[in-house]
Amino acid sequence: MKINIDFFTRFFAQDFLFEYSHVNYTDMVGGRRCFHMDCSGFVAWSLMQMGYVRALVELRSFLKAHDFIKINRFFCKDFAFIFRRKKQFKYWSFLPEPVSGCLLIILFPDGNGHCMFVDKVLAKGALRVIDCTRYPHKHDTRADKPGIGVGEITLECTQGRWFYNSHHPAHSKSQVDVYFVLPTK
């Protein structure tokens, strides 16, 4: 089962405010919903809104049991640990390549990461993604501002190694670890 991309069509049709924050919460400002989120906070919030409660509970319980959970949410780097134990998960499927509707988790060599939803596989290596970022991508709806939006990235696999290009001047193409996952209800 893939993520319901129609959720995002309805989401982007609403008027909202945004502030990039690792605190991850929403509130109302002047009658408009304001999202104070980072990438994993936005992914977790979106999954909860779409009804993937069992998948999120399973993930949090697993991380808590292994002393990985931090402030009641996951981090991108947790997926390296999760992936090695993927057979223990009932509500998560791990895929060999990106498909429309899956989650894409990127882990950089420095331990940081980025997670996003794959909206569409455009061509070999080109993906349209939905995410929350400080660094907008190519053909991005954010117009060079941080926030929640849609843009294009490139992800290439060469001799078993993955290379990620966010198409933002602040980040160069880099070798990364990648995980493609689908939650189930």
Contact 183, 90 (CB under 8 A): no
Task: Assess whether pLDDT exceeds 90 at residue 115.
Answer: yes
pLDDT of 60-75, one tens digit each?
888 888 776 666 668 8
At residue 55, the 3 state secondary structure works out as helix
Report d(CA 47, CA 168) in Å as an integer.
26
Model pLDDT for residues 32-89, shown as the tens digit of each residue: 999 999 999 999 999 999 999 999 999 888 888 877 666 666 888 888 889 989 999 9
pTM given for the model? 0.91
> Is 2 a residue whose pLDDT tops 80?
no
d(CA 118, CA 130): 6
Domain ranges of the chain: 6-183
Task: Give the pLDDT band (50/70/90) at residue 154.
Answer: very high
Beta-ladder partners of 149: 131
CA 36 to chain centroid, in Å, comes to: 15
